[in-house]
Amino acid sequence: MTNRPRRIGVFVCHCGTNIADKVDVEALAEYAAGLPGAVSARTYQYMCSDPGQDLLKQEIEELGLNRVVVASCSPLMHELTFRRACEEAGLNAFNFQMANIREQVSWVTEDPDEATERAKRAVAAAVYRVAHHAPLEVKEVSVQPASLIVGGGIAGIDAALRIADSGKKVYLVEREPSIGGYMAQLYKTFPTLDCSA
Ligand SMILES: Cc1cc2nc3c(=O)[nH]c(=O)nc-3n(C[C@H](O)[C@H](O)[C@H](O)COP(=O)(O)OP(=O)(O)OC[C@H]3O[C@@H](n4cnc5c(N)ncnc54)[C@H](O)[C@@H]3O)c2cc1C
Protein backbone atom coordinates (compact mmCIF):
# COMPACT_ATOMS: atom_id res chain seq x y z
CA MET A 1 0.00 0.00 0.00
CA THR A 2 1.39 3.41 -0.93
CA ASN A 3 1.46 6.24 1.61
CA ARG A 4 -0.11 8.79 -0.73
CA PRO A 5 -3.13 10.39 0.94
CA ARG A 6 -6.34 8.77 -0.14
CA ARG A 7 -8.51 10.87 -2.44
CA ILE A 8 -11.66 8.82 -2.77
CA GLY A 9 -14.53 9.79 -5.07
CA VAL A 10 -17.96 8.28 -4.43
CA PHE A 11 -20.56 8.06 -7.19
CA VAL A 12 -24.11 7.14 -6.25
CA CYS A 13 -26.31 5.85 -9.07
CA HIS A 14 -30.08 6.40 -9.13
CA CYS A 15 -30.45 3.50 -11.62
CA GLY A 16 -33.51 5.38 -12.85
CA THR A 17 -36.06 4.65 -10.16
CA ASN A 18 -34.57 1.27 -9.23
CA ILE A 19 -32.42 2.72 -6.46
CA ALA A 20 -33.70 6.28 -6.10
CA ASP A 21 -37.28 5.21 -5.37
CA LYS A 22 -36.16 3.52 -2.16
CA VAL A 23 -32.81 5.00 -1.20
CA ASP A 24 -32.48 8.72 -0.48
CA VAL A 25 -29.55 9.10 -2.87
CA GLU A 26 -28.84 12.74 -1.95
CA ALA A 27 -28.65 11.91 1.76
CA LEU A 28 -26.44 8.96 0.89
CA ALA A 29 -24.04 11.14 -1.11
CA GLU A 30 -23.91 13.71 1.70
CA TYR A 31 -23.07 10.95 4.16
CA ALA A 32 -20.46 9.45 1.82
CA ALA A 33 -18.73 12.81 1.37
CA GLY A 34 -18.00 12.85 5.11
CA LEU A 35 -16.36 9.40 5.23
CA PRO A 36 -12.59 9.24 5.89
CA GLY A 37 -10.62 9.80 2.70
CA ALA A 38 -13.63 10.86 0.64
CA VAL A 39 -13.08 14.11 -1.26
CA SER A 40 -16.27 14.11 -3.30
CA ALA A 41 -19.60 12.34 -3.59
CA ARG A 42 -21.95 12.77 -6.53
CA THR A 43 -25.22 11.28 -7.65
CA TYR A 44 -26.17 10.54 -11.24
CA GLN A 45 -29.19 9.02 -13.01
CA TYR A 46 -27.32 6.19 -14.74
CA MET A 47 -23.64 5.85 -13.82
CA CYS A 48 -23.20 3.04 -16.37
CA SER A 49 -24.29 5.29 -19.28
CA ASP A 50 -21.66 7.05 -21.39
CA PRO A 51 -22.30 10.45 -19.70
CA GLY A 52 -22.12 8.69 -16.29
CA GLN A 53 -18.76 7.19 -17.13
CA ASP A 54 -17.59 10.55 -18.52
CA LEU A 55 -18.51 12.19 -15.21
CA LEU A 56 -16.44 9.59 -13.36
CA LYS A 57 -13.43 10.13 -15.65
CA GLN A 58 -13.73 13.90 -15.47
CA GLU A 59 -13.74 13.88 -11.65
CA ILE A 60 -10.77 11.51 -11.49
CA GLU A 61 -8.81 13.96 -13.60
CA GLU A 62 -10.07 17.25 -12.15
CA LEU A 63 -10.07 16.26 -8.47
CA GLY A 64 -7.01 14.00 -8.67
CA LEU A 65 -8.95 11.03 -7.29
CA ASN A 66 -6.79 7.98 -6.57
CA ARG A 67 -9.63 5.69 -5.41
CA VAL A 68 -13.20 5.36 -6.70
CA VAL A 69 -16.37 3.87 -5.24
CA VAL A 70 -19.51 3.43 -7.33
CA ALA A 71 -22.68 2.63 -5.41
CA SER A 72 -25.04 1.06 -7.91
CA CYS A 73 -25.97 -2.42 -9.06
CA SER A 74 -24.31 -5.82 -8.75
CA PRO A 75 -20.61 -5.99 -9.71
CA LEU A 76 -21.67 -8.79 -12.04
CA MET A 77 -23.38 -6.16 -14.19
CA HIS A 78 -20.90 -3.31 -14.35
CA GLU A 79 -17.69 -3.86 -12.39
CA LEU A 80 -15.75 -4.21 -15.65
CA THR A 81 -17.45 -1.12 -17.12
CA PHE A 82 -16.30 1.05 -14.21
CA ARG A 83 -12.85 -0.51 -13.97
CA ARG A 84 -12.36 0.31 -17.65
CA ALA A 85 -13.56 3.90 -17.11
CA CYS A 86 -11.06 4.30 -14.24
CA GLU A 87 -8.29 2.96 -16.43
CA GLU A 88 -9.21 5.33 -19.26
CA ALA A 89 -8.81 8.22 -16.82
CA GLY A 90 -5.35 6.99 -15.83
CA LEU A 91 -6.31 5.27 -12.56
CA ASN A 92 -5.31 1.70 -11.82
CA ALA A 93 -8.46 -0.36 -12.47
CA PHE A 94 -8.16 -2.10 -9.10
CA ASN A 95 -8.29 1.10 -7.08
CA PHE A 96 -12.01 0.79 -7.55
CA GLN A 97 -14.77 -0.72 -5.42
CA MET A 98 -18.46 -1.23 -6.11
CA ALA A 99 -21.17 -1.11 -3.47
CA ASN A 100 -24.25 -3.06 -4.49
CA ILE A 101 -27.15 -0.93 -3.29
CA ARG A 102 -29.65 -2.27 -5.83
CA GLU A 103 -29.84 -6.09 -5.62
CA GLN A 104 -28.68 -6.06 -1.99
CA VAL A 105 -30.56 -2.99 -0.78
CA SER A 106 -33.28 -1.20 -2.80
CA TRP A 107 -34.75 -4.31 -4.42
CA VAL A 108 -34.96 -6.21 -1.15
CA THR A 109 -35.85 -3.54 1.43
CA GLU A 110 -39.44 -2.38 1.91
CA ASP A 111 -38.91 0.67 4.10
CA PRO A 112 -37.13 3.66 2.45
CA ASP A 113 -35.50 4.82 5.72
CA GLU A 114 -34.14 1.35 6.35
CA ALA A 115 -32.97 1.11 2.72
CA THR A 116 -31.08 4.41 3.06
CA GLU A 117 -29.41 3.23 6.29
CA ARG A 118 -28.42 -0.07 4.69
CA ALA A 119 -27.05 1.76 1.64
CA LYS A 120 -24.99 3.99 3.94
CA ARG A 121 -23.45 0.93 5.60
CA ALA A 122 -22.67 -0.64 2.20
CA VAL A 123 -21.03 2.57 0.95
CA ALA A 124 -19.05 3.05 4.17
CA ALA A 125 -17.72 -0.51 3.87
CA ALA A 126 -16.72 0.12 0.26
CA VAL A 127 -14.96 3.40 1.14
CA TYR A 128 -13.04 1.79 4.02
CA ARG A 129 -12.14 -1.13 1.79
CA VAL A 130 -10.99 0.83 -1.26
CA ALA A 131 -8.63 2.84 0.96
CA HIS A 132 -6.67 -0.41 1.43
CA HIS A 133 -6.61 -1.43 -2.23
CA ALA A 134 -3.22 -1.73 -3.85
CA PRO A 135 -2.78 -1.20 -7.58
CA LEU A 136 -2.58 -4.53 -9.41
CA GLU A 137 -1.21 -5.50 -12.79
CA VAL A 138 -3.03 -7.87 -15.10
CA LYS A 139 -0.76 -10.60 -16.41
CA GLU A 140 -1.52 -13.10 -19.12
CA VAL A 141 -0.20 -16.63 -18.74
CA SER A 142 -0.78 -19.52 -21.07
CA VAL A 143 -2.87 -22.37 -19.71
CA GLN A 144 -3.56 -25.88 -20.90
CA PRO A 145 -7.27 -25.69 -21.76
CA ALA A 146 -8.02 -29.32 -20.83
CA SER A 147 -10.30 -30.65 -18.09
CA LEU A 148 -10.06 -33.66 -15.82
CA ILE A 149 -13.33 -35.16 -14.67
CA VAL A 150 -13.18 -37.68 -11.84
CA GLY A 151 -16.06 -40.14 -11.97
CA GLY A 152 -17.77 -41.49 -15.08
CA GLY A 153 -21.35 -41.55 -13.76
CA ILE A 154 -24.12 -39.74 -15.64
CA ALA A 155 -22.99 -36.38 -14.23
CA GLY A 156 -19.37 -36.93 -15.27
CA ILE A 157 -20.34 -38.23 -18.71
CA ASP A 158 -22.66 -35.29 -19.35
CA ALA A 159 -20.07 -32.74 -18.18
CA ALA A 160 -17.42 -34.42 -20.34
CA LEU A 161 -19.64 -34.29 -23.42
CA ARG A 162 -20.52 -30.64 -22.89
CA ILE A 163 -16.88 -29.62 -22.51
CA ALA A 164 -15.86 -31.75 -25.51
CA ASP A 165 -18.66 -30.19 -27.59
CA SER A 166 -17.15 -26.77 -26.88
CA GLY A 167 -13.96 -27.98 -28.51
CA LYS A 168 -11.85 -28.57 -25.38
CA LYS A 169 -9.98 -31.72 -24.48
CA VAL A 170 -11.42 -33.78 -21.60
CA TYR A 171 -9.98 -36.62 -19.57
CA LEU A 172 -12.71 -38.72 -17.93
CA VAL A 173 -11.39 -40.96 -15.17
CA GLU A 174 -13.44 -43.85 -13.77
CA ARG A 175 -12.29 -46.20 -11.05
CA GLU A 176 -14.61 -49.05 -12.08
CA PRO A 177 -14.05 -51.17 -15.22
CA SER A 178 -16.92 -49.40 -17.03
CA ILE A 179 -18.53 -45.96 -17.00
CA GLY A 180 -22.18 -45.25 -16.16
CA GLY A 181 -22.23 -45.21 -12.36
CA TYR A 182 -25.58 -45.90 -10.70
CA MET A 183 -27.54 -45.22 -13.87
CA ALA A 184 -25.93 -48.13 -15.66
CA GLN A 185 -27.32 -50.46 -13.02
CA LEU A 186 -30.94 -49.34 -13.45
CA TYR A 187 -33.42 -50.75 -15.94
CA LYS A 188 -35.55 -47.70 -16.70
CA THR A 189 -35.46 -44.23 -15.21
CA PHE A 190 -38.32 -42.33 -13.69
CA PRO A 191 -40.11 -40.21 -14.95
CA THR A 192 -39.30 -40.60 -18.65
CA LEU A 193 -38.92 -44.39 -18.57
CA ASP A 194 -35.85 -44.05 -20.77
CA CYS A 195 -33.55 -47.03 -20.93
CA SER A 196 -30.90 -46.09 -18.34
CA ALA A 197 -28.01 -47.82 -20.05
C1 LIG B 1 -32.08 -47.45 -6.74
C2 LIG B 1 -31.96 -46.14 -7.48
C3 LIG B 1 -32.96 -45.78 -8.37
C4 LIG B 1 -32.90 -44.55 -9.04
N5 LIG B 1 -33.84 -44.22 -9.95
C6 LIG B 1 -33.78 -43.08 -10.64
C7 LIG B 1 -34.74 -42.74 -11.64
O8 LIG B 1 -35.68 -43.47 -11.87
N9 LIG B 1 -34.62 -41.55 -12.32
C10 LIG B 1 -33.56 -40.72 -12.08
O11 LIG B 1 -33.48 -39.66 -12.73
N12 LIG B 1 -32.61 -41.02 -11.15
C13 LIG B 1 -32.70 -42.18 -10.44
N14 LIG B 1 -31.75 -42.48 -9.50
C15 LIG B 1 -30.70 -41.52 -9.25
C16 LIG B 1 -29.60 -41.62 -10.29
O17 LIG B 1 -29.22 -42.93 -10.52
C18 LIG B 1 -28.44 -40.82 -9.77
O19 LIG B 1 -28.88 -39.51 -9.46
C20 LIG B 1 -27.32 -40.70 -10.77
O21 LIG B 1 -26.94 -41.97 -11.23
C22 LIG B 1 -26.15 -40.00 -10.12
O23 LIG B 1 -25.16 -39.85 -11.08
P24 LIG B 1 -23.73 -39.33 -10.73
O25 LIG B 1 -22.93 -39.30 -11.97
O26 LIG B 1 -23.86 -38.06 -9.97
O27 LIG B 1 -23.13 -40.35 -9.66
P28 LIG B 1 -22.80 -41.89 -9.78
O29 LIG B 1 -23.78 -42.61 -10.66
O30 LIG B 1 -22.66 -42.37 -8.38
O31 LIG B 1 -21.42 -41.90 -10.51
C32 LIG B 1 -20.22 -41.59 -9.86
C33 LIG B 1 -19.12 -42.31 -10.60
O34 LIG B 1 -17.86 -41.84 -10.07
C35 LIG B 1 -17.01 -42.97 -9.88
N36 LIG B 1 -16.04 -42.57 -8.86
C37 LIG B 1 -16.29 -42.22 -7.59
N38 LIG B 1 -15.15 -41.89 -6.97
C39 LIG B 1 -14.17 -42.00 -7.88
C40 LIG B 1 -12.75 -41.79 -7.83
N41 LIG B 1 -12.15 -41.38 -6.73
N42 LIG B 1 -12.02 -41.98 -8.95
C43 LIG B 1 -12.65 -42.41 -10.11
N44 LIG B 1 -13.98 -42.63 -10.20
C45 LIG B 1 -14.73 -42.44 -9.10
C46 LIG B 1 -17.94 -44.07 -9.47
O47 LIG B 1 -17.36 -45.34 -9.68
C48 LIG B 1 -19.14 -43.80 -10.38
O49 LIG B 1 -19.02 -44.45 -11.63
C50 LIG B 1 -31.79 -43.69 -8.80
C51 LIG B 1 -30.78 -44.07 -7.91
C52 LIG B 1 -30.86 -45.29 -7.25
C53 LIG B 1 -29.76 -45.66 -6.31
End-to-end CA distance of the chain: give it in Å, rounded.
59
Judged against a pLDDT cut of 70, whether residue 1 lies above it is answered with no
Report d(CA 103, CA 108) in Å as an integer: 7
List, as one string, the DSSP characters of 45-75: S-TTSHHHHHHHHHHHHHHT-SEEEEEES-H
187 lines ligand 1 (CB under 6 A): no
- Give the pLDDT mean for 154-173: 97
Whether residue 190 has its Cβ less than 6 Å from ligand 1: yes
User: Does residue 182's CB lie within 6 angstroms of at least one atom of ligand 1?
Assistant: yes
SS (H, E, C) 88-103: HCCCCCCCEEEEECCC
Q: What are the phi and psi torsion angles at 52 (to 5°)?
A: -65, -45
Q: What is the pLDDT of residues 64-102, one digit of tens each?
A: 999 999 999 999 999 999 999 999 999 999 999 999 999
How would you classify the pairing of strands 96-100 and 8-13?
unpaired
How far is ligand 1, taken at its centre, from the CA of residue 171, in Å?
A: 19
Q: Domains (ranges, CATH) in the chain?
A: 8-130 (3.40.50.960), 146-195 (no CATH)
Tell me what pLDDT residue 103 has. 98
pLDDT tens for 93-145 read 999 999 999 999 999 999 999 999 999 999 999 999 999 999 999 999 998 88
What is the structure's pLDDT at 2?
Answer: 58
The length of the chain in residues reads 197
Question: Is 156 a pocket residue for ligand 1 (Cβ < 6 Å)?
Answer: yes
| Closest among 62, 58, 60, 98 to 82, alpha carbons compared | 98
DSSP state of 5: P
